[in-house]
Structure 1
């Protein structure tokens, strides 16, 4: 029998690697880590938070100054490494520019070397920390002090609760140095680990997160360094540690003596401008706009010192509908719906005389008031759920507030007149929605990421898109079923740790833990949105019916016209059948003469209506063309004359300048001088720049010449020589050779602007391909033109990278919106996807054909036009 008397208790050991698991590997993104540390400042009762990216050395700049070179040398960068990449700019004495033939590998090596000198600072002016707080709370993993003590001294609800937010430091960099100056009026007297009073005003705490690495190392074997300091104020510390930060841009309070500076170095990410922009955007929606003034956030960058500043949220004041729902502890919801979509002054009184519009809240006085209210409850919004819910989930949801906005991105003129829409700036709305759209979730005035975050999978966390897909009905559909699109909405849901205790953070700080309460809560929010949907759809149906009553006759006339066209088509089809099958004509003899006469009258009437409609459409088209030409003429008359005069000046000004200077000094006196100090060399440089500018002006002005919109005889040899001249400057700068020597002497009757569109698009694509090319070979583009008796054939080819190997069906490149051009940072599509589609459209419009060619290297395309467009030298077709 086993003896259990010899038992003992043994403690758990925590591996030092735990710090990495709950910090670097647990927190989902660096942006999320920064936000966690900003929230720490909020919990410390700070009025402001400063995020400062000292990222001057995050990238290799294209142009640097003598001072920048000196800085690099002071950091230990050998001079030879610097001047392997840079050369002196001949135009200025203290500027260097990156060499054109720079070695990309050496450029990458320098970037990696200097990036090590970048730092990130997160600063607050809160209450600071005493030695006891640092030892007992800051150094304790998973401390529960914020969970138990939920209010700050000023009454804020603390944003943190899990006690692991400080490990976000490890996500950002390998080393952290914290400087904290504590407020003695807020904290108890500062004491050391033995309880003895100290005379320090603050502390410097330093940790190297790499110390947590190593086999079999437990957390109690890892130490941080703590140094007592005496400092007058946190502002003096900021000025001493970050002299490049302009504190005049920050709205410090007079009492801002205390606070904390977190300096993170050995950064794990390279904070170039692209990524700093993303952090700035995230911070803009970190707190609701209403909270501006209570907690201000600033972001600065040493690389772009004037680009950033105070982070301000955006208030939505240009909306079609706004809904505000407030839920209380008794599961009642008070809803206020604001209507701004309709121009009430334009709505005829007759509309409000309709039976359905005589009831509240659809009367004219309700529209003029601009809003209406409704009292409801959880169980009324989600009817039938409470009876089936054994867990009483409604009791677990708690108090919340939901503000919802609906904004149309655009509308047609027909809809504007039918629904009496107010006008708005479509581009401004699109820009605002792209930046601030989506329904955000805030807890105690801080956003819970990633809900409602643009370009994130959780953007549509309420599944509005799925609702729309299941019920795609338009807003005015008589049967109902309208559902709003997620891309047209914005809003904020506000909850609190105090009243919504069942909504717990994920430890990764990326959202709330999924449970039944949260799932029901989402359905409840969607049900509240449905109050708006029902209101908008009801009004739209009534307006649509009213519009039918007023303009139904006009629409009937249009239907009659369509019917007339159908009768004509049927008549022509019958006639064709009789001509094709004369033997069957006898079967029609039984048709009464009266019926035949009636059909003939219908046919004559329909033909006449069709002819009139064609005349009207031709006149409308002519009117549109004339309006467009008139507008183009005004614009060109305003600018092309001035540009042409500038073009004339460019061709002679350097000769005149050289002539004037030569009267005072001799050119031979400067033969031994450096180019940058030789005035005659500088004049030649200006001449080169003028020639480039002239070429661009000729190209721009030539693209809109009137004769390009006609279909004259185009001599292809001359055309491609001029085409090469237009592009020569751009191509030479990129080391690209354009060959147009194999062009037959053919005259083609074609719109010159069509040729421009085809070959400009192909050339732009080739330049983009050469930019991606890694092989060191001569860059060539070749255009050949010949005829074979039936067709005029254009062969275009380059020796660039060719079509992407990922394209399974090459013909897909001609489909609209297809593009392989993507952002190098995010892989998002950047190309328009219209270039090759446009090429195909133009070729088809001219009855031509396209054929992809597949050279050994690069891209090839054959464009062929039928002989009907070709003329010989004698002018005969």
Structure 2
């Protein structure tokens, strides 16, 4: 009972290979806090008898007493620990042994009796103690560690258990070994047998991990490097993350109400889910299998210590939102973080053992946990959005539009209707409404084309901004060297300056042509065009930029004519973005002969095969088709902050879909390949 002893710091592993808790030497003050008198009996294998130790903490508060004058009672007693246990408690132990079918060995152990209590213990306080004790140790430890509570001598004992639910919609488990995050993702939300086969023929459900066989799999396994999870290549930042040390994180998501089952093919949820989450929700930290309070403690300021509610409130979108940016709420989940005194030495407990010091390692740990949860979020949002797209097209929007168009044609053609006059007026009103929607749609399409063109212009300008800065620096300064060359009649210098002028002016002309032409009104009209000629013209406009960037484009066409009514600006958006992406990929690679190959073929469809010989997709993309998601980018600064827009490939995908076309990646390593098919 010596204050400030650090034996646990030096000898932190017990004989049973458990990690001892505490190292400050002040935990014993908890005895003084609870009551004025403490009597302790303890027996170890090394001692020949049971030790009895008793102290009156109030003695330290008596006036005139010196510390060295106060002594505790210490003696050896002949009674065993089991004999010292009160009979009422022995009876409860027998009941417990019968329940767990295991005999509890009391040949060694400790009994602590605290009297002269400093607080009045009400039923509410006792219930709070029980709630806290439920989470003191994780469930997997409860086969060999039992906590029982008896509220009074007359009441029965209670075995305190941390009852976890087998019910969940999603579960994610991550093990960080100091280098990589091994992720196991479990989906339990969808009734796969009730999902129509047509759903899995949709393009969004033909990719891993969203195929039917992936839905049927019990567990999906992924491995993320630190660089991939944190979107950074900064070696110093990665080293700081490694300093966190290895840990395990388990998290389950449970929605709080049933969704439209016929739309999203959800399973029914249990009726007691809300009550269970109220009691067990939140994310708790366990260090060496003991709960670090107050993290995840309901009612405390640290219940939502990851800030999940604030994160959700900042962007409270539906799970089926077009942005696919849905996030979990703290009230919808339960999680457990397992850390260790040995492996996570940089994550430090406060001296009171109530909480963890908010140092850099702890902040990085919180960031890692949120990024792990976001893997679950992205998966669920992608699936819900895909179901919504399918449902809108098959069951609602397409059917409504077709019926409305037929009614509009019938009514506006002047055909007589045998129904009542009132019904006819309603039909005429419906027909006009459909026409209004069509007009609004055309306006929106025009606006969309303009915004798409402006976005593409911005991407082009960003990709060549370095070259523009170089030319800008020469715009005024090039005059004086030219004047000197002319005055000195230096023909070689004059020729060199003229060549530089021509080269830079051609580059500027190409950029200005792209920027000014793309927003022309006639390009936002649907006109019948030879698509081969349109694509060739697009490549020719970019030629000076390609020369400046030392990129060769090989355009291969068959002898067919691919004609269709198109918006020219749409095809400019597709190919400008593809070529600019290749240029940026070349700038990051060591490729000397930079080549782009565009092959055009026609059968029932226009088939475009695009291929460059850069390095391919960044390995940060676990699913390569993520590049077509709005906001998905591989462009980050050294600190992991997003600097890309995530618009380029999204514009390509959305444009192709507008023409009822499809696309697939044909190469993602040692080059980038994309096949586009558009019906003619």
For the aligned pair, the TM-score class normalised by the smaller chain equals 0.5 to 0.7
Aligned CA distance change for structure 1 residues 254 and 422 (closer, same or farther; 3 Å): closer
Name the counterpart of 1:222: 70
| Cα distance between partner residues in 1 of 2:165 and 2:172 | 12
Cα offsets for 1:820-850 (capped at 9, x unmatched): xxxxxxxxxxxxxxxxxxxxxxxxxxxxxxx
Query: How does 1:679-690 map onto structure 2 within 5 Å?
Result: none
Aligned CA distance change for structure 1 residues 533 and 604 (closer, same or farther; 3 Å): same
The 8 Å contact of residues 451 and 511 in structure 1, kept in 2 or not, is answered as yes
The 8 Å contact of residues 244 and 302 in structure 1, kept in 2 or not, is answered as no
The 8 Å contact of residues 150 and 158 in structure 1, kept in 2 or not, is answered as yes
Q: What RMSD, in angstroms, separates the aligned Cα atoms of the two structures? A: 2.9
Name the counterpart of 1:209: 57
| Deviation at residue 223 of structure 1 after TM alignment | 2.3
Name the counterpart of 2:151: 301
| Cα distance between partner residues in 2 of 1:504 and 1:549 | 54
Query: How does 1:427-826 map onto structure 2 within 5 Å?
Result: 427-553=271-397, 556=400, 605-606=425-426
Cα offsets for 1:658-689 (capped at 9, x unmatched): xxxxxxxxxxxxxxxxxxxxxxxxxxxxxxxx
Unaligned runs of 5+ in 2: 409-413, 415-419, 431-680
| Cα distance between partner residues in 1 of 2:356 and 2:309 | 21
Q: Secondary structure at the match of 1:281?
A: helix
Aligned CA distance change for structure 1 residues 553 and 530 (closer, same or farther; 3 Å): closer
Whether 1:310 and 2:155 are equivalent positions in the alignment is no
Name the counterpart of 1:765: none
Query: How does 1:346-357 map onto structure 2 within 5 Å?
Result: 346-357=194-205
The 8 Å contact of residues 378 and 524 in structure 1, kept in 2 or not, is answered as no
| Deviation at residue 182 of structure 1 after TM alignment | 2.9
| Cα distance between partner residues in 2 of 1:418 and 1:219 | 74
The 8 Å contact of residues 207 and 224 in structure 1, kept in 2 or not, is answered as yes
Name the counterpart of 1:321: 170
Name the counterpart of 2:96: 250
Name the counterpart of 1:401: 248
| Cα distance between partner residues in 1 of 2:309 and 2:269 | 25
Query: How does 1:351-430 map onto structure 2 within 5 Å?
Result: 351-384=199-232, 386=234, 389=237, 392-412=239-259, 415-425=260-270, 427-430=271-274
Q: How many aligned positions are there?
A: 415
| Cα distance between partner residues in 2 of 1:154 and 1:179 | 21
Aligned CA distance change for structure 1 residues 310 and 362 (closer, same or farther; 3 Å): same
| Deviation at residue 235 of structure 1 after TM alignment | 1.1
| Cα distance between partner residues in 2 of 1:166 and 1:219 | 17
| Cα distance between partner residues in 2 of 1:217 and 1:505 | 34
Name the counterpart of 1:711: none
The 8 Å contact of residues 418 and 543 in structure 1, kept in 2 or not, is answered as yes
The 8 Å contact of residues 181 and 203 in structure 1, kept in 2 or not, is answered as yes
| Deviation at residue 396 of structure 1 after TM alignment | 1.7
Name the counterpart of 2:120: 270
Q: Aligned match of 2:30 in 157, 164, 168?
A: 168
Cα offsets for 1:485-542 (capped at 9, x unmatched): 1100001110111100112211222111111110111011000000001100111111
Name the counterpart of 1:775: none
Whether 1:235 and 2:53 are equivalent positions in the alignment is no
Aligned CA distance change for structure 1 residues 442 and 350 (closer, same or farther; 3 Å): same
The 8 Å contact of residues 249 and 309 in structure 1, kept in 2 or not, is answered as no
| Deviation at residue 557 of structure 1 after TM alignment | 7.4
| Cα distance between partner residues in 2 of 1:214 and 1:225 | 18
Aligned CA distance change for structure 1 residues 311 and 356 (closer, same or farther; 3 Å): same
Name the counterpart of 1:132: none
Q: Secondary structure at the match of 1:165?
A: coil
Name the counterpart of 2:188: 340
TM-score (norm 2): 0.57
| Cα distance between partner residues in 1 of 2:25 and 2:55 | 18
The 8 Å contact of residues 151 and 157 in structure 1, kept in 2 or not, is answered as yes
Aligned CA distance change for structure 1 residues 385 and 250 (closer, same or farther; 3 Å): farther
Cα offsets for 1:671-712 (capped at 9, x unmatched): xxxxxxxxxxxxxxxxxxxxxxxxxxxxxxxxxxxxxxxxxx
Name the counterpart of 2:11: 149
Unaligned runs of 5+ in 1: 1-138, 191-199, 565-593, 595-599, 611-877
Q: Secondary structure at the match of 2:120?
A: coil
Cα offsets for 1:435-456 (capped at 9, x unmatched): 1111111111111111111111
Aligned CA distance change for structure 1 residues 553 and 382 (closer, same or farther; 3 Å): closer
| Deviation at residue 243 of structure 1 after TM alignment | 6.5
| Deviation at residue 177 of structure 1 after TM alignment | 1.0
| Cα distance between partner residues in 2 of 1:243 and 1:222 | 33
The 8 Å contact of residues 59 and 65 in structure 2, kept in 1 or not, is answered as no
Q: Aligned match of 2:39 in 177, 180, 189?
A: 177
The 8 Å contact of residues 476 and 541 in structure 1, kept in 2 or not, is answered as yes
The 8 Å contact of residues 438 and 489 in structure 1, kept in 2 or not, is answered as yes
Query: How does 1:119-134 map onto structure 2 within 5 Å?
Result: none
| Deviation at residue 253 of structure 1 after TM alignment | 3.4
| Deviation at residue 221 of structure 1 after TM alignment | 3.7
Cα offsets for 1:527-583 (capped at 9, x unmatched): 00000011001111110000011112487379979x99xxxxxxxxxxxxxxxxxxx
| Deviation at residue 431 of structure 1 after TM alignment | 1.2
| Deviation at residue 303 of structure 1 after TM alignment | 6.0
| Cα distance between partner residues in 2 of 1:402 and 1:478 | 29
Cα offsets for 1:604-629 (capped at 9, x unmatched): 5229999xxxxxxxxxxxxxxxxxxx
The 8 Å contact of residues 351 and 357 in structure 1, kept in 2 or not, is answered as yes
Name the counterpart of 1:810: none
Aligned CA distance change for structure 1 residues 246 and 555 (closer, same or farther; 3 Å): same
| Cα distance between partner residues in 2 of 1:486 and 1:243 | 40
| Deviation at residue 387 of structure 1 after TM alignment | 5.1
Q: Secondary structure at the match of 1:397?
A: coil
Aligned CA distance change for structure 1 residues 386 and 165 (closer, same or farther; 3 Å): farther
The 8 Å contact of residues 335 and 375 in structure 1, kept in 2 or not, is answered as yes
The 8 Å contact of residues 332 and 375 in structure 1, kept in 2 or not, is answered as yes
Cα offsets for 1:472-495 (capped at 9, x unmatched): 121111122111111000011101
| Deviation at residue 385 of structure 1 after TM alignment | 7.5
Q: Aligned match of 2:138 in 284, 288, 292?
A: 288
| Cα distance between partner residues in 2 of 1:209 and 1:250 | 34
| Cα distance between partner residues in 1 of 2:236 and 2:346 | 20
Name the counterpart of 1:701: none
| Cα distance between partner residues in 1 of 2:182 and 2:268 | 30
The 8 Å contact of residues 258 and 269 in structure 2, kept in 1 or not, is answered as no
Cα offsets for 1:107-137 (capped at 9, x unmatched): xxxxxxxxxxxxxxxxxxxxxxxxxxxxxxx
| Deviation at residue 410 of structure 1 after TM alignment | 0.6
| Cα distance between partner residues in 2 of 1:513 and 1:459 | 16
| Cα distance between partner residues in 2 of 1:174 and 1:559 | 83
| Cα distance between partner residues in 1 of 2:220 and 2:380 | 13
Q: Structure 1 stretch 287-296 or stretch 531-540: which is displaced more?
A: 287-296
